Structure 1
Amino acid sequence: GLLATVQDAGRPGHGSLGVSVSGALDRAALRTANRLVGNPEGAAGLEITAGGFEATALADVWIAVAGAWGELTIDGRGIDHGAAQLWRRGERLRKGWFTAGVRAYLAVRGGIEARRVLGSAATDTLAGLGPEPLRADAVLSGGALAVDEIPASDLAPWSPPPADLVVRLVPGPREDAFTPASGTALFEATWTVGAAADRVGMRLEGPRLDRTDAGELPSEGMVPGAIQVPPSGSPTILLADGPVTGGYPVIATVLDADLDLLAQAGPGATIRFIHATQH
């Protein structure tokens, strides 16, 4: 496929070492897929971007796929999205190009065994930590992390993300570095996700956000969801593999609970921001 990486719950708490959180961008989807096959919610699975993924089972294994929607087959027969499935040895799984959402999560009963760094098997695409992104002919091994039976109620309904996302923001540490008009535009404009969107961050297209002072800032701490504004005036939302420090001012930060929404927003998707206190 376009990109497939091993992801788990990530590496929170290591920012002082210069290490990003990383892990699944759509955390709820990974948790759902793991629950469906009896794994701990944070077990390592595959994050599949855009689709086009194919793999052959080397042993019988239970799997589940959650997150982005697209054709899902085993040896050409359609199987359910959001449900536990028995994938038999020699059968070929195919996740077609997605028709809704951007990232799907494939959980294997027992989890995926992969090289761990600071306790996590997550692939950090910016720093190069963890296992390499998958390549053709890669072989993956299942682990022994399953703790529960396959749930009797094995269906997890999933709705495609809305065409126009509404995302909540809290004020950024440099909110006062921008003109009042820029602060207004951030919330009144409809933003479009640009082509520069990956696990590190997503560039937004819309009105220019101007600063009151164009001088350089010393580097300061960053978190996933921070909206940095470079001299071009086009905001960029940092995501899980984003740097832990940066020198561009942060006008606002996406509420942590809304980060999963951004995981399913691809180029061309539209976003409107509201204050976190709004309902």
Structure 2
Amino acid sequence: MTRDGVLVVDPGPLSTLQDRGRRGWAHLGVPRAGALDRGAAALARRLVGGTPDDAVVETTVGGLVLRTRRALTLAVTGAPCEVTVDRRGVAHSAPVTVPADAVVRVGAATSGVRSYVAFAGGVAVPEVLGSRSTDTLAWVGPPRLAAGDVLPLGRPGDLPEPPAAAVVRPRPSVLRLRRGPRGDWVEPSSWDALDGAEYAVAPDSDRVGLRLDGPRLRRRPGELPSEGIVLGAVQLPPSGQPVVFLADHPTTGGYPVVAVVEDDDLDLCAQLRPGERVALRVL
């Protein structure tokens, strides 16, 4: 086991490696994966002087515990949480210099769901199909983090100047929708009622999809032959409860895609907790 890099002491409920995703393999049934909150992951990389393609750690609700094997610079962004180095509180959304053999704790999210930990140099695990992302649907790429794993790091770049804390503003809980290729499967009265409707996030939401619980959309009976699915597609199963497909979505599906979420609103989907409410706006 190398003495370089970062040791995973406690991975928390679910921690994975993510970069910008695995593009160009959908024709072979391989999902794209990648960080769900793309803005938060990109901010973490910038704060440590990384490149847009560096891999970061994505945590889920419960955080994680790490031990450094050498001095390094890291940053934690995304869901607000307590960050400590050897029990001393350090800044969130700012670069932090950490000595060798230090214990770094990324606490449970106080709001939101997913936090991002970036290291100067990025996490340098081998690429799988051109990406270091963990896909939780087909489990392509690196496995989920486990206690005892050592994350190798690449060569650090130059830190940004000045290394000031970033300003992170809350995003309104509104998802903007455009009519999808199978919008005609929704009855007109249901489509009209969709604009402004509020839904609760269902407990079984995950990296595959944000499942919504609320007003039932009346739709045609039956299924379609399987069709291609894109990021942000809103599929409508027979239950009438919409599902927003996220980064680990399947590449095909037989339920109608009745709408598509605006790309700029997808990062919000990464941070919505079960039970939280979100309003839909039809463009």
In structure 1, what is the Cα distance between the partners aligned to 2:145 and 2:106? 15
- Selected match of 1:207 from 196, 202, 215: 215
Secondary structure at the residue paired with 1:202?
strand
One-letter amino acid of the counterpart of residue 166, structure 2: A
Shift of 1:41: 2.2
In structure 2, what is the Cα distance between the partners aligned to 1:214 and 1:200? 24
In structure 1, what is the Cα distance between the partners aligned to 2:32 and 2:276? 25
Output the TM-score relative to the length of structure 2.
0.92
Is 1:48 the equivalent of 2:56?
A: no
State, as a whole percentage, how many aligned pairs show the same letter.
47
Aligned to 2:164: 154
Shift of 1:257: 1.3
What is the total number of aligned residue pairs between the two structures?
Answer: 272
Is 1:61 the equivalent of 2:69?
A: no
In structure 2, what is the Cα distance between the partners aligned to 1:200 and 1:233? 18
Shift of 1:160: 4.0
Shift of 1:114: 1.5
CA gap 1:10/1:200 in 2 versus in 1, 3 angstroms: same
Aligned to 2:31: 20
Shift of 1:176: 0.3
- Selected match of 1:30 from 41, 48, 72: 41
Matches within 5 A, 1:1-150: 1-144=12-155, 146-150=156-160
Matches within 5 A, 1:166-205: 166-205=174-213
One-letter amino acid of the counterpart of residue 102, structure 2: E
In structure 2, what is the Cα distance between the partners aligned to 1:220 and 1:182? 23
Shift of 1:110: 0.3
Which consecutive unaligned segments of at least 5 residues does structure 2 have? Answer: 1-11
Is 1:240 the equivalent of 2:251?
A: no
- Selected match of 1:222 from 224, 229, 235: 229
In structure 2, what is the Cα distance between the partners aligned to 1:161 and 1:98? 16
Shift of 1:271: 1.0
Secondary structure at the residue paired with 1:168?
strand
One-letter amino acid of the counterpart of residue 115, structure 1: P
